């Protein structure tokens, strides 16, 4: 896209309107630390799906134009208290911190493109079965930023590979590819066009809010620059500043939204399989879970519970009474989560199809015919989720599941997947109030489906909706949790768990997980043991496997594996109060639950690309073994004092150490001064009363922590119906727990403390409890 020379500028509200020779653009001041660069190609306004509501907060700024003065290149300088943007000819924009430090600058030279293959060479390469890469679709609009020298890049959603994305190239195009995903995969199920750049002297984020197919080259093509290119749509990106990585992420989620607090049971262990085929099998799995002492809160039903894979139906031959089954399971603490795909079976007489046809709710060909492809039920049609009326209709259909007792909805195949080739780019969809095509709506399809599901469940059930999605876009975290899709039972995919989930968290999606044990291929017992030890700390904790592969329920292996599995799941349940606190905090701050060490130790060069360990919150460090045969783990502890969670040994940080890690152990460390809320043993999240006594594990040192208490289910907490307890620990061993907000009717009566093998307790008096350790 060409702009030419900068001719003039004027200010309207929070916008600086920029007139160039060949096109117009503008720079918008959203907040003191968020600036938007925009030029309308397909629309003159943003039409964002990621950003909802007005975000500009009236931040003050100054504009200093230097145009037509005969002193060289034209320049407009826009400055807030925190950030300065300098706009030049060709709409080149450089950003600086308030003290003059460079954040990012546009690259002024031409890209050094690699020579493409001739058609003859492409054919020759394909003849042996090699994949011939498609065009990246980046020629419409390009933003090329200069590499300042020591950049590391984080985020970009669920891309494969390692934590630091420097040197790699990715394509934002939601893709259903069940092949074993490796470092060289450019696209997966999710498109989140946001990343954080970290340098020694600067940190910032860039969010490119354009849903068309796009390319992100993070220095693969050249060490001199990194670039973004998109095939169509608007030039629309945000510079997001902050004093540190956590603040940048908080500012990004200010724009795109934070994940709402989930129901507490959703943090428990969840068991799945493609497929548990009958009611008898479901009951048997639940019974075996309790017999084996594996805590579990949910069982997932894959596509075979439906009648001929028709969404919002139930197979009566396999299930005598799903309502009775769910009622019985609920008495023993189990919830049922059901899969739903977007593809609606083309079947006259099937009510969902008939109503969608009658009301014109399905995507069409350019000629106006309903577009037909194929998924599980065979010939299928695709709801046009970009239309508000279609989302409302889809949301109302959730009533079928709720009436039977379903407690969560798992959205799959929503890239959208299709068995007869990808949907053509010109299939007609809707973007709210105007016609659009598949090229524009593809990456938004899963997002809009998640929104429809979430809003339907919220309206009809009232409780916090539990929605899982495979495909998403930026901002989907407001509506859904996510899993990383069809992984495999291979060690490479266990190794990928840590950087993949951490980067999803750094992309604004905190409630995420992988299929524990792997979905495709066959899991070995050693791989299963190591996977569950790592996944016990992931926000979404679900074991799932594919038809035709080895069953992965923990008792399917041997007694040793069962014991190790039980130990890991019990540790997860012990830590649920801590995880719940992190979710409560995250709804305000945007911080994830599972965090790379670099998020809190960005000045420590050792953790820039540390892929074998992670933080849970700020105070817990997990270093799982992710290689076969290893029984020791090299662990890096950041600066400060730490405690081995199991042995209670005190360890000085700022160094590597070698830790014994037998098959039943994931090295786990706690920062000195930590107050860790925990639970007693239980089989499911609401088995026992946890509202009378606050159980705390304390690790000596100085620190503070906020613990939250609410009903764990409804949205009443948003109206103040929660209790917040400030836990303050001093270096000399005094612990004070103070109720600083008391809006929930149930309150703790006493506090019991476990500290390095010693116990102490105290009672609340006038909202405060003091204990000497």
Q: What is the pLDDT of residues 436-451, one digit of tens each?
A: 999 999 999 999 999 9
- For the cut 60, the answer to whether the pLDDT of residue 136 exceeds it is no
3-state class (DSSP) for residue 160: coil
Vertex 440, ends 159 and 208: CA angle to 5°?
A: 50
Name the nearest CA neighbour of 283 among 295, 265, 269, 271: 271
Cβ atoms 231, 139 nearer than 8 A: yes
Distance from C-alpha of 276 to C-alpha of 746, rounded to nearest angstrom: 39
Cβ atoms 69, 119 nearer than 8 A: no
Cβ atoms 440, 425 nearer than 8 A: no
- Using CA of residue 450, residue 456, residue 459, residue 465, what is the dihedral sign? negative
Peptide bond preceding 416 in cis form (omega within 30 of 0): yes
Distance from C-alpha of 535 to C-alpha of 512, rounded to nearest angstrom: 11
Q: What is the pLDDT of residue 117?
A: 76
- For the cut 60, the answer to whether the pLDDT of residue 520 exceeds it is yes
What's the pLDDT tens digit per position in 230-288?
A: 999 999 999 999 999 999 999 999 999 999 999 999 999 999 999 999 999 999 999 99
Strand partners, 724: 708, 741
Q: What is the pTM of this model?
A: 0.97
Range 388-392 average pLDDT:
98
Write out the catalytic residue numbers: 412, 415, 486
- For the cut 80, the answer to whether the pLDDT of residue 138 exceeds it is no
Which tokens sit at 696? 């705390």
- Helix pair 388-404, 445-461: axis angle to 10 deg: 50
- For the cut 70, the answer to whether the pLDDT of residue 71 exceeds it is no
- For the cut 70, the answer to whether the pLDDT of residue 339 exceeds it is yes
- For the cut 80, the answer to whether the pLDDT of residue 115 exceeds it is no
What backbone torsions phi and psi does residue 144 show, to the nearest 5 degrees? -115, 120
Band (pLDDT 50/70/90 cuts) for residue 69 is: low
Q: What is the pLDDT of residue 114?
A: 74
Q: What is the pLDDT of residue 70?
A: 57
Q: What is the pLDDT of residue 306?
A: 98
Band (pLDDT 50/70/90 cuts) for residue 639 is: very high
Q: What is the pLDDT of residue 519?
A: 98
Q: How many residues does the chain have?
A: 773
Mean pLDDT of the chain: 96
- For the cut 90, the answer to whether the pLDDT of residue 510 exceeds it is yes
Q: What is the DSSP string of 20-49?
A: ESS-EEEEEEEETTEEEEEE-SS-SS---S
Distance from C-alpha of 330 to C-alpha of 137, rounded to nearest angstrom: 50
Q: In percent, how much of the chain has pLDDT > 70?
A: 98
CB neighbour burial string for 327-359, b if at least 16 within 10 angstroms, e if fewer:
eebeeebbbbbbbbbbbbbbbeebebbeebeee
Name the nearest CA neighbour of 415 among 456, 450, 388: 450
Q: In percent, how much of the chain has pLDDT > 90?
A: 95
Strand intervals (E) in 608-678: 614-616, 620-622, 632-637, 641-644, 650-652, 655-660, 668-671, 675-678
- Using CA of residue 135, residue 136, residue 139, residue 145, what is the dihedral sign? negative
Distance from C-alpha of 504 to C-alpha of 510, rounded to nearest angstrom: 7
What's the pLDDT tens digit per position in 567-601?
A: 999 999 999 999 999 999 999 999 999 999 999 99
3-state class (DSSP) for residue 551: coil
Band (pLDDT 50/70/90 cuts) for residue 127 is: confident
Distance from C-alpha of 244 to C-alpha of 438, rounded to nearest angstrom: 38
Select the more confidently predicted residue: 72 or 578. 578
Q: What is the pLDDT of residue 135?
A: 56
Band (pLDDT 50/70/90 cuts) for residue 118 is: confident
Distance from C-alpha of 568 to C-alpha of 736, rounded to nearest angstrom: 31
Strand intervals (E) in 218-312: 225-230, 235-241, 270-271, 298-301
Report how far apart the first and last C-alpha atoms of the chain are (Å, whole number).
66
Q: What is the pLDDT of residue 116?
A: 72
| Helix H or strand E segment including 325 | helix 322-331
What's the pLDDT tens digit per position in 184-236?
A: 999 999 999 999 999 999 999 999 999 999 999 999 999 999 999 999 999 99
Cβ neighbourhood burial of 710 (10 Å; 0-12, 13-18, 19+): buried
- For the cut 90, the answer to whether the pLDDT of residue 731 exceeds it is yes
Distance from C-alpha of 85 to C-alpha of 624, rounded to nearest angstrom: 43
């Amino acid at each position: 896209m060409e702009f030419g020379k900068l001719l003039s500028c004027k200010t309207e509200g929070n916008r600086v309107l920029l007139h160039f020779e060949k096109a117009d653009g503008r720079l918008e001041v959203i907040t003191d630390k968020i600036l938007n660069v925009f030029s309308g190609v397909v629309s003159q306004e943003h039409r964002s799906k990621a950003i909802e509501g007005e975000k500009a907060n009236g931040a003050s700024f100054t504009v200093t134009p230097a145009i037509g003065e005969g002193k060289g290149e034209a320049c407009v300088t826009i400055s807030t208290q925190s950030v300065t943007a300098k706009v030049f000819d060709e709409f080149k924009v450089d950003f600086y911190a308030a003290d003059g430090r460079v954040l990012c600058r546009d690259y002024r030279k031409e890209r050094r493109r690699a020579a493409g293959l001739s058609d003859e060479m492409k054919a020759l390469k394909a003849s042996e079965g090699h994949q011939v890469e498609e065009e990246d679709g980046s020629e419409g609009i390009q933003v090329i930023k200069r590499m300042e020298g020591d950049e590391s890049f984080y985020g970009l959603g669920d891309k494969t590979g390692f934590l630091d994305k420097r040197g790699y190239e990715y394509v934002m195009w939601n893709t259903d590819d069940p092949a074993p995903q490796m470092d060289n995969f450019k696209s997966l199920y999710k498109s989140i066009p946001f990343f954080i750049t970290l340098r020694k002297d600067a940190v910032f984020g860039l969010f490119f809010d354009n849903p068309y197919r796009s390319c992100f080259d993070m220095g693969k093509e050249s060490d001199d620059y990194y670039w973004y290119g998109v095939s169509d749509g608007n030039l629309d990106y945000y510079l997001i500043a902050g004093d540190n990585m956590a603040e940048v992420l908080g500012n990004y989620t200010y724009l795109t939204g934070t994940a709402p607090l989930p129901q507490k049971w959703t943090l428990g262990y969840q068991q799945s399989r493609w497929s548990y085929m009958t009611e008898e099998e479901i009951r048997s799995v639940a019974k075996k879970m309790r017999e084996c002492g594996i805590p579990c809160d949910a069982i997932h039903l894959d596509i075979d519970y439906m009648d001929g894979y028709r969404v919002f139906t139930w197979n009566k031959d396999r299930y005598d009474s799903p309502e009775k089954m769910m009622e019985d399971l609920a008495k023993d603490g189990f919830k049922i989560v059901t899969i739903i795909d977007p593809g609606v079976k083309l079947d006259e007489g099937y009510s969902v199809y008939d109503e969608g046809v009658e009301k014109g709710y399905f995507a069409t060909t350019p000629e106006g015919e309903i577009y037909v492809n194929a998924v599980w039920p065979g010939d299928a049609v695709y709801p046009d989720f970009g239309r508000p009326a279609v989302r409302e209709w889809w949301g109302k259909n959730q009533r079928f599941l709720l009436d039977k007792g379903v407690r969560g909805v798992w959205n799959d195949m929503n890239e959208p997947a299709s068995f007869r080739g990808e949907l053509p780019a010109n299939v007609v969809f809707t973007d709210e109030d105007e016609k659009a095509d598949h090229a524009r709506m593809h990456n938004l399809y899963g997002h809009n489906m998640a929104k429809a599901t979430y809003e339907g469940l919220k309206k009809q059930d009232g409780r916090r909706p539990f929605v899982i999605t495979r495909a998403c876009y930026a901002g989907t975290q407001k509506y859904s949790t996510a899993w990383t899709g069809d992984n495999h039972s291979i060690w490479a995919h266990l190794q990928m768990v840590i950087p993949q989930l951490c980067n999803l968290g750094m992309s604004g999606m905190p409630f995420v997980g992988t299929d524990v044990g792997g979905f495709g291929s066959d899991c070995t017992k050693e791989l299963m043991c190591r996977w569950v030890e790592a996944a016990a700390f992931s926000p979404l904790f679900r074991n799932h496997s594919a038809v035709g592969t080895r069953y992965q329920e923990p008792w399917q292996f041997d007694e040793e594996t069962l014991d190790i599995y039980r130990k890991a799941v019990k540790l997860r349940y012990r830590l649920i109060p801590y995880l719940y606190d992190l979710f409560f905090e995250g709804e305000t701050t945007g911080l994830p639950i599972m965090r790379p060490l670099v998020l809190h130790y960005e000045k420590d060069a050792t953790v820039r690309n540390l892929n074998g360990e992670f933080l849970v919150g700020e105070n817990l460090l997990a270093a799982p073994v992710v290689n076969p045969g290893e029984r020791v783990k090299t662990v890096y502890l950041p600066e400060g004092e730490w405690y081995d969670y199991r042995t209670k040994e005190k360890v000085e940080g700022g160094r590597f150490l070698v830790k014994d890690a037998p098959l039943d152990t994931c090295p786990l460390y706690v920062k000195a001064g930590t107050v860790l809320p925990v639970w007693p043993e239980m089989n499911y999240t609401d088995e026992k009363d946890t509202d009378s006594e606050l159980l705390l594990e304390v690790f000596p040192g100085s620190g503070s922590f906020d613990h939250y208490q609410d009903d764990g289910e409804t949205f009443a907490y948003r109206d103040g119906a929660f209790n917040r307890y400030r836990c303050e620990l001093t270096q000399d061993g005094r612990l004070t727990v103070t109720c600083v907000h008391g809006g929930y009717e149930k309150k703790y009566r006493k506090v019991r403390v476990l500290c390095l093998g010693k116990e102490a307790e105290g009672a609340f008096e006038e909202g405060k409890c003091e204990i000497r350790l």
